[in-house]
Amino acid sequence: MVIFDLDGTLWNSAANVAASWNVVIEKEVGKEHTLTADDIMRYMGLTMTEIADRHFGFLPEKERYELSRHCEVYENGYITEHGGDLFEGVEETLAKLKEKGVKMAVVSNCQEGYVKAFLDSMDMWKYFIDYEEWGRTMLLKADNIKLVMERNGADKGIYVGDIQKDSDAAHAAGVPCIYAAYGFGEISDGIATINSFDELPAVLEELGYI
């Protein structure tokens, strides 16, 4: 089973995420606290509470989490409507992997509903057999990786991600990690590196996952 991180691995939705959050932030705490797409990219891979702690740290804990939740809910609807930017070669490569019988899933540290917004907005349901997200289980990414594998009877898995936290989670779940070097961060201990998404099938074949 091949399990993918979402942001920085399959797509870049930072601009639309920032736009959606800013609608809520400007309304509730003022324009001076809005954020940029670059801010969002720096926050990718963190849980929603971690993002709230970093960006809304000027608020008491209860209020910052309430504001974060309002942003999350608005974001899900906005992303469902507006989507994001798939990285080059993603859909074509996913189609090739599906044709080869590769089982694929998405595991992200996002809020509940965000992966569904991705799948809906980009018409991606046909490629993935399952997904999991921090906001639905409140589990660590490593535990969600294991959960998805167990749920689908997969005894062999590999994770594809773009930041060190992805690799750490994969190793904690007992699976290797492929580094998506075109993404938002760096990984020092990936089992392999892809510089573009269309390199993935050859790497998976070399590693024995196809």
What pLDDT does residue 83 have?
A: 96
The token pair that represents 20 in the structure block = 């959606």
Can you state the angle between helices 61-82 and 48-55, rounded to 10 degrees?
120
Q: Which helix (H) or strand (E) covers residue 130, if one does? A: strand 130-133
Q: Is 79 helix (H, G, I), strand (E, B) or coil?
A: helix
One domain, residues 19 and 53: yes
First-to-last CA distance in the chain?
Answer: 9
What pLDDT does residue 119 have?
A: 98
Q: Which band of pLDDT confidence, cut at 50, 70 and 90, is reported for residue 25?
A: very high
One domain, residues 68 and 95: no
Final residue of a domain: which of 82, 97, 123? 82
Q: What is the pLDDT of residues 35-63, one digit of tens each?
A: 999 999 888 878 889 999 999 999 999 99
* Residue found by looking up tokens 């929603």 in the block: 48
Q: Express as a percent the part of the chain with pLDDT over 90.
A: 96
The token pair that represents 186 in the structure block = 């760096």
Do residues 82 and 145 touch, judged by C-beta distance below 8 A? no
Range of the domain at 101: 2-11+86-207
